[in-house]
Amino acid sequence: MSNFKNGDETGPIHVLSVRALSSEQVERLHAVSPRIRVEQRVCENGEQIAAALEPHFEVLYSARGDFQLTNAGSLRWLQTESAGVDHLHGTDIWKSGIAVTSANGAHPQVAEYAIAGLLACAHRFPATFDLQRAGVWSDSDRRRMMPMVLRGRTIGIVGYGAIGRETARLASAVGMRVCVAVRDVTRRRFDGWQLSGTGDADGVLPEMWLPITQLDELLVTSDVVVLAVPLASGTRRLLDAERITRMRPGAVLVNIGRGALVDQDAMIAALESGALGGAVLDVTDPEPLPAGHALWRAPNLILTPHISGMSPNMLDNVMSIFAENLRRYAAGEALLNVVQRELGY
Instruction: Please count the CA atoms within 13 angstroms of the CA of 193 that sit on its side-chain side.
Output: 24
Q: Of the listed 9, 27, 242, 287, which one is catalytic? A: 287
Q: Of the listed 64, 153, 177, 258, which one is catalytic? A: 258
Q: Of the listed 243, 293, 306, 341, which one is catalytic? A: 306
Per the annotation, the verdict on 87 as an active-site residue is: no
Nearest to 155 by CA among 163, 164, 147, 143: 164
Which DSSP helix (H) or strand (E) runs through 59?
Answer: strand 59-61
Q: Radius of gyration over alpha carbons of the chain, in Å?
A: 22
d(CA 99, CA 77): 5
d(CA 327, CA 13): 11
d(CA 294, CA 112): 27
Per the annotation, the verdict on 287 as an active-site residue is: yes
Instruction: Judge whether 108 and 166 are in contact, CB under 8 Å.
Output: yes
Cα distance between the two ends of the chain: 14
d(CA 203, CA 219): 20
Q: What share of the chain is helix, strand, coil (3-state, %, to 5)?
A: 35, 15, 50
Question: 3-state DSSP call for residue 175?
Answer: coil
Instruction: Judge whether 16 and 78 are in contact, CB under 8 Å.
Output: no
Per the annotation, the verdict on 327 as an active-site residue is: no
Beta carbons within 8 Å of 130's beta carbon, 6+ residues apart: none
Pairing, β 13-17 against β 36-40: parallel
Which DSSP helix (H) or strand (E) runs through 303?
Answer: strand 301-303
Helices assigned H by DSSP within 104-207: 109-122, 125-134, 162-174
Sheet with strand 177-182: strands edge to edge? 208-211, 177-182, 154-158, 224-227, 251-255, 276-281, 301-303
Active site members: 258, 287, 306
